[in-house]
Chain A
C-alpha cells in the first residue's frame, strides 16, 4: 500500500489554449493567443507550453522531472526537458499519466531519494487530432459520444516541505480489458477502469465513498460518467453523489462529451477544486485509455488503466 507522510504539493503552473479560454476554463496562469504559440508547428508549440511551465517552477532544489504527454514517443516532453540539466523521466499512461507521475515522484520523496520534484504534462488539440485521428482540417463526422483533446499544460511541484496540500496515499491501477473497440467512445473505455481502481483503493485503504469530500475522475466525459455511476450501482450497489468528472466540467455548452487529454484533470484540480472550501479530502482518479491507431485498426478491444491518489487539503 502506498502511504505517504512527507509529501506535499507546493507549487503549480497552468497554461491553456484560446479555445479553453473561450469555453470558460478559469484561473489559468497563462492563456495562449493561438494554437501555435509563435512556433512553426503544433508539436513545437506543445513543447513550448511545457518549457514555459518548467522555467517557472524549477528552482535550485528541484532534483527530478517526471511527466509525459500524448505525442508519439513523448516528443514534447523530450524537447521541453532537453538541456535543463536536471534528471528527467518520461512516462506514459495516456490520460492517467498525471497520477502515475505524481505517485512516482511521491514515492521517491517518501523514500528520501529526492527532496523535490516536478510533474509536467500537456496535451494539444491539433497535435493529438493529427496523430490519433485525422488531419486537423478534415471534417470527419464526430459522434456525440466523442470527446475533444484539450490544449493545456500543467506543472505540479511536489516536495517534502510542508504545505496545505498533502499527498496521503495512492493506488496504482491494473490494466484491464474495457470490452470496447470503439475509439470514439473513450468514456465507455475508461469508466470500467475507474470503477476497478476505485473499488481497489477503497478496499486497500479500508475506506468508503463517504470518507471523501470529492471523487474527481479525469476525462470520462458526460457519457463515461453516467456509465461509471451506473456500473458502480449495478455491480457494487454503490451510489456516488460527491463525484465530478474534470472532462465533463471542462467545456461548458460543448456539444460532444467533454474534454480529454493528460492535462485536463490536473488543471481542474489545481485551478478549481483545491481552492474550494468544501473539498478537504479529494480522491483523484486519473483515467487512461491505452489505445493507439494500430491497436484500433487491428480491431482489438482497448485496454484501460486508472491510477488513484488521495490528497488532503487544509482549509
Chain B
C-alpha cells in the first residue's frame, strides 16, 4: 500500500494528546513545587537563621529525598504520568530517574545491575551539563576576564 496513504489513515485515527490539560497540570504542579520551595527556604532563613545559600541547598536535598522515597513507594510514577513536566523538569525528575533505574536493576546484581544502569536515564543531564558548562565557562572567561 502507498506509504503516504497509510500514514494519513494512521494520523487520522491516532488519538490526539490532551495538550491543554497537560499544559495546565504541568504549570500547576510546577507552580506548587516552586511555591513550597520558596516557603521552606524562607522558613529556614528566618526561623533557623541559615544563609540563603544553605537554605536553598537544603530545599534541593529535601525535594530529592521526597522524590526518591515516593518513587520507591511505587506511587511517584503515577504522579509523573499525570503531571508530566510539572514533576520531570524540577530536580524531582532527576532524582526519580535515578531511583527508578536503581530499583529495576537491583535484581541484576549490585555491580552488573545497579552499578551499570544507575545513570541510565540521568546520564544525559550530567554529560551535557558538564560539557556545556565547561565550554560556556571558557567563553565567559574570554568575555569578562
By the criterion CB–CB under 8 Å, are B14 and A223 in contact? Answer: yes
Chain A interface mostly:
loop
Question: Contacts A40-B107, A179-B7: A141 and B84 contacting too (C-beta < 8 A)?
Answer: yes
By the criterion CB–CB under 8 Å, are B6 and A231 in contact? Answer: yes
Q: Which of B77-121 contact A (CB under 8 A)?
A: 77-81, 84, 87, 96-97, 99-101, 103-105, 107-108, 120-121
Q: Closest Cβ of chain A: how far from B12's Cβ, in Å?
A: 8
Q: Which of A246-266 contact B (CB under 8 A)?
A: none
Q: Interface residue tally of chain A, by bracket? A: 20 to 34
Number of A-B contacts (CB under 8 A): 86
A298 at the interface (CB under 8 A from B): no
Chain A residues whose CB sits within 8 angstroms of the CB of B100 once the complex forms: 134-139
Contact of B17 among A143, A230, A234 (CB under 8 A): A143
**Residue interface bits A19-63, CB-to-B below 8 A is 1, else 0:** 000000000000000000000111100000000000000000000
CA distance A305 to B44 in the complex (A): 61
B20 at the interface (CB under 8 A from A): no
Q: Which of A75-124 contact B (CB under 8 A)?
A: none
Q: How many residues of B contact A (CB 8 A)?
A: 35
Contact of A141 among B71, B80, B101 (CB under 8 A): B80
CA distance A144 to B6 in the complex (A): 20
By the criterion CB–CB under 8 Å, are A139 and B78 in contact? Answer: yes
Contact of B13 among A40, A135, A179, A230 (CB under 8 A): A230
By the criterion CB–CB under 8 Å, are A136 and B81 in contact? Answer: no
Q: Closest Cβ of chain A: how far from B136's Cβ, in Å?
A: 28
CA distance A138 to B97 in the complex (A): 6
**Residue interface bits B58-82, CB-to-A below 8 A is 1, else 0:** 0000000000000110101111110
CA distance A43 to B87 in the complex (A): 30
Chain A residues whose CB sits within 8 angstroms of the CB of B103 once the complex forms: 135-137
Q: Closest Cβ of chain A: how far from B141's Cβ, in Å?
A: 36
Q: Residue on A with the closest CB to B80? A: A139
Q: Residue on A with the closest CB to B15? A: A144
Question: Contacts A40-B107, A139-B76: A231 and B101 contacting too (C-beta < 8 A)?
Answer: no
Chain A residues whose CB sits within 8 angstroms of the CB of B53 once the complex forms: none
Contact of B10 among A130, A134, A180 (CB under 8 A): A180
CA distance A142 to B10 in the complex (A): 18
B1 at the interface (CB under 8 A from A): yes
Question: Contacts A134-B121, A179-B6: A139 and B77 contacting too (C-beta < 8 A)?
Answer: yes
Question: Contacts A145-B15, A230-B9: A41 and B107 contacting too (C-beta < 8 A)?
Answer: yes
B140 at the interface (CB under 8 A from A): no
Chain A residues whose CB sits within 8 angstroms of the CB of B84 once the complex forms: 141
A159 at the interface (CB under 8 A from B): no
CA distance A164 to B85 in the complex (A): 55
By the criterion CB–CB under 8 Å, are B15 and A223 in contact? Answer: yes
Chain B residues whose CB sits within 8 angstroms of the CB of A234 once the complex forms: 5, 9
By the criterion CB–CB under 8 Å, are B9 and A137 in contact? Answer: no
Chain A residues whose CB sits within 8 angstroms of the CB of B1 once the complex forms: 192, 195, 231, 235
Question: Which 9 A-B pairs rank lowest in CB-CB distance, beginning with the nearest?
Answer: A139-B80, A139-B77, A135-B104, A41-B107, A138-B100, A137-B100, A135-B100, A188-B10, A144-B15
Q: Which residues does B use to contact A, with CB under 8 Å? A: 1, 3, 5-7, 9-10, 12-15, 17, 71-72, 74, 76-81, 84, 87, 96-97, 99-101, 103-105, 107-108, 120-121
A136-B100, A143-B17 given. 18 additional CB < 8 A pairs? A135-B100, A135-B120, A136-B103, A137-B72, A137-B77, A138-B97, A138-B101, A139-B79, A139-B100, A140-B81, A144-B15, A145-B14, A191-B10, A192-B6, A195-B1, A223-B15, A231-B6, A231-B9
What are 29 inter-chain pairs, A to B, with CB distance below 8 A? Answer: A130-B104, A134-B100, A134-B121, A135-B100, A135-B103, A135-B120, A135-B121, A136-B104, A137-B71, A137-B72, A137-B74, A137-B77, A137-B103, A137-B104, A138-B80, A139-B80, A139-B87, A139-B100, A141-B84, A142-B81, A145-B15, A179-B6, A192-B1, A195-B1, A227-B13, A230-B12, A231-B1, A235-B1, A235-B5
